[in-house]
Amino acid sequence: MHSLVANLRAILPYWWVLVVGGALAVSDLYNWHRPEGKEFRIPHSWRLTISVAAIVLAQFLAYRDQGENLAKVIDEKRELSIQNDTLRRQRDSENSENARLTDENARLKAQIPSETSLKARAVRTADDYEKFWRTRPKTPECLQTSQMTPEEQRTAMAPCNAWQFKIMQEYSERFAPTIMAMVEEFRAKGINVRDIENCAPSGFCGIAISVQLRAMAARLDASDNVKR
């Protein structure tokens, strides 16, 4: 029923134009310009034929419009499908790129040790230790000669002894506990700490403590696992 009503709505405008705007208009135009006594009358059979022909032609025109509309709808759907495919590919590409960046970011983060890791603490302590020595006053000059008496030698060495005692005291307060604890952590991981364990309490080592700390930190990855 809905299709029939829709078809009639599509045919009626064309039929009205063909009959009223065509056949009747021609008849009226002739009668308006007709010579006197020659009025043109359309026979009933012609009127019926014209009405039926107008219905057929109107049906054809309606079908043509429907075909054009259908073709237009198909083209619009095809274009919309192409746009959707393009957007989907772009979205998939963006999702793939986001996933790649997420994985890359996670990989890079995994290479950065946390602030509380043994690796980071060892490097940070090495930096502080080197800064500590750069900011200390220079060693005083303490000269001894063979002609000096023991008392004179002690007096000459007093500034150097005082300087060394102060350095050892500052080191023992600021660094010794931390470095000694880290030495034990490195030992627990199977790293050789022989060159630093005995001198860590005093700070005077054959190889600078900062160098040894950096070397042991280099043996660890970002997760504090010993590299193989």
pLDDT, tens digit (0-9, with 9 covering 90-100), for 18-32? 454 445 545 554 555
User: What is the mean pLDDT of the segment spanning 42-62?
Assistant: 58
Q: Is 170 exposed, middle or buried (0-12, 13-18, 19+ CB in 10 A)?
A: middle
Query: What does the pLDDT read at residue 188?
Result: 94
**47 vs 210, residue with greater confidence:** 210
Query: What does the pLDDT read at residue 61?
Result: 59
Spell out the domain ranges in the chain.
2-109, 118-218
With bands split at pLDDT 50, 70 and 90, how would you rate the model's confidence at 212?
very high
Query: What does the pLDDT read at residue 110?
Result: 65
User: What is the mean pLDDT of the segment spanning 175-201?
Assistant: 93
Mean residue pLDDT of the chain comes to: 77
What tens digit of pLDDT does each residue of 76-108 get? 888 888 888 888 888 888 888 888 877 777 676
With bands split at pLDDT 50, 70 and 90, how would you rate the model's confidence at 70?
low
Phi, psi of 193 (to 5 degrees): -115, 20
Burial 137-157 (b: 16+ CB within 10 A, else e): eeeeeeeeeeeeeeeeeeeeb
Overall pTM surpassing 0.85 (yes/no) = no
Alpha helices (H) in 111-224, listed in sequence order? 118-134, 150-174, 176-188, 194-197, 209-218
Query: What does the pLDDT read at residue 7?
Result: 53
Quick one: tokens of 116? 């509380």
What CA–CA distance (Å, rounded) separates 98 from 28?
A: 76
Q: Lowest mean pLDDT of 11-25, 64-78, 108-122, 141-155, name the range.
A: 11-25
Q: Lowest mean pLDDT of 12-16, 34-38, 51-55, 156-160, name the range.
A: 12-16
Query: What does the pLDDT read at residue 211?
Result: 93
